[in-house]
Amino acid sequence: MRKIIPFVCAIVMALSSCSGDLEPGQVKVTGGVIQGTVTENMAVYKGIPFAASPVGELRWKAPQPVIPWEGVKDATEFGPSPIQPMQMPGLTTSEDSLYLNVWTPAKAKTDKLPVMVWIYGGGFSMGSSSEFDGAPLAEKGVVLVTINYRVGQMGFFVHPELSAENPEGVSGNYGILDQIAALEWIQNNISEFGGDPSKVTIFGESAGGISVSMLCASPLAKGLFRGAISESGGSFGPSRVNNYPGENMKLLEDAEKVGSDLADKLGANSIAELRSMPPESLSQGMVITGGPWPVIDGYVIPDDQFRMYESGNFNDINVLIGYNSDEGASFGSSTDSKVYTKDIEERFGPYADALMKAYPVGSPKVVKTGRDLVRDAAFGWHTWAWARLQAEKGRSKVYLYYFDQHPEYPEDSPMYGHGSPHGQEVDYVFKRLKSESVPTDYQLSETIATYWTNFVKFGDPNGQNNDGLPVWPEFTKDDHVTMVLTGDKPYSSAVPSEDAMWVLDSYFAWRRTTEGDSWARNR
């Protein structure tokens, strides 16, 4: 063992190395010792296994404990990404994908820094933790963790035979169980990286934000985090057999029928045969609606989340949640007002006319107010309902945002009248702006990163000294206020289109009635 001088021990993150039994950059975690990459200001550990490889007989089972390894495991490269139907350039995929990554600025284990845990999006069909660099956020005084979870058919396949073999009588939701297993690993290990397991905040976007919402409702995740940030997430819509954005959830028995049909199409007579097939043969093309998705199984996700929150049955923690101004531009709806109107009538039935009055479609091309219906049906209403229900039923703080950073396009541009599309804010959060960005983009990115990390540290985006930022007021049951994230100076405002969202709220309320459920099942 080479001698370690005190100065080096301090600079190279004396997380464990000063104890004399580990080399600099080495940390002992569940399963064994790992070796990361250490610089003067940051230590990075990649490809850390948090569960056993879900292969062979472990395919479509809840994540199992890590299998210990001999010697020192290299943790300088990302682990494989989960199997997914669309191969991303440069992405190595494997069924063996349950790995996480840690960026820590801590100088010692005793630093007890707050922890941020990123859950990626991708429609529950795609995504990888390796796409995100945690250093820019970690540099603001937090330990940053990114996690993998199973997606597509590997993560959310439901089948009656799988339910029968499960002690809880359920199947599917393996990807959500992976997230919970990663959070349990963090509780047991993050102190070795200078993090505080009592100060964990989860955050994610799109399917990651929806996952955050589900974890906030799941009893299996209780106590694993103290705060949550959801970007364009929320899962407060009712179940539906034929899914639409915002009505993506199926009941277990309905999802089992879909799984049985898929097994028949693949010519498989048993789960054993399906487990013997190459994972690539089971992957379906990415489908935002109707594809593999979490299900209401009565166990991981006990019930319709709206009803759970109405009854006060949720993990009552501080939340920072929001959505983008033009989410509706990202989901393939027709720009022709006649076709769009027909689509609205098909989806919303007896509520179509009232909703098109609340959200004017325009003619002959669909204008932004029409797209706002798609935005709110998929994201805005869910986030607003989440904020409203928690403010009414909970005791913790709620902070709502509306991201609206975009160029003012000229009238002759095909982008005229467009706002911020789905996913745009992610680059601002992770401070990875493109070359064409303007000064206000960089200012907003720094502002958002500070708001986010303040929330992680203090449960309040304003922090303790306000950092010179515009004050972000709480959303309360008596004051429905949002923070508009735009330009060089965000500002608080009334919730955009809130009057229209109350009309959409009445549709979702009707859909939860026997009449509304029967109507949807017969479409």
> Which tokens sit at 446?
């720094």
Of 485, 411, 493, 499, the closest CA to residue 451 belongs to 485
Cis peptide before 114 (omega within 30 of 0): no
Contact predicate 99/80, CB 8 Å = yes
Produce one character per residue of 207-225: b if its CB has 16 or more CB atoms within 10 Å, e if not.
Answer: bbbbbbbbbbbbebbeebb
- Specify the residue for token string 């104890």: 19
Q: Is 230 a catalytic residue?
A: no
- Specify the residue for token string 């000064």: 439
Exposure on the CB side of residue 19, measured as CA atoms within 13 A: 12
Exposure on the CB side of residue 171, measured as CA atoms within 13 A: 25
- Tens of pLDDT, residues 386-407: 999 999 999 999 999 999 999 8
> Which tokens sit at 353?
């006319």
Active-site annotation holder among 205, 231, 327, 425? 327
Q: Report pLDDT for 290.
A: 55
Q: Is 422 a catalytic residue?
A: yes
Of 265, 71, 296, 104, the closest CA to residue 191 belongs to 104
Active-site annotation holder among 325, 422, 445, 497? 422
Q: Report pLDDT for 10.
A: 44
Q: Is 213 a catalytic residue?
A: no
Produce one character per residue of 92-121: b if its CB has 16 or more CB atoms within 10 Å, e if not.
Answer: ebebebbbbbbbbbbbebebbbbbbbbbbb
pLDDT less than 70: residues of the chain: 1-20, 284-290, 332, 466
Active-site annotation holder among 206, 218, 235, 239? 206
- Tens of pLDDT, residues 236-274: 999 999 999 999 999 999 999 999 999 999 999 999 999
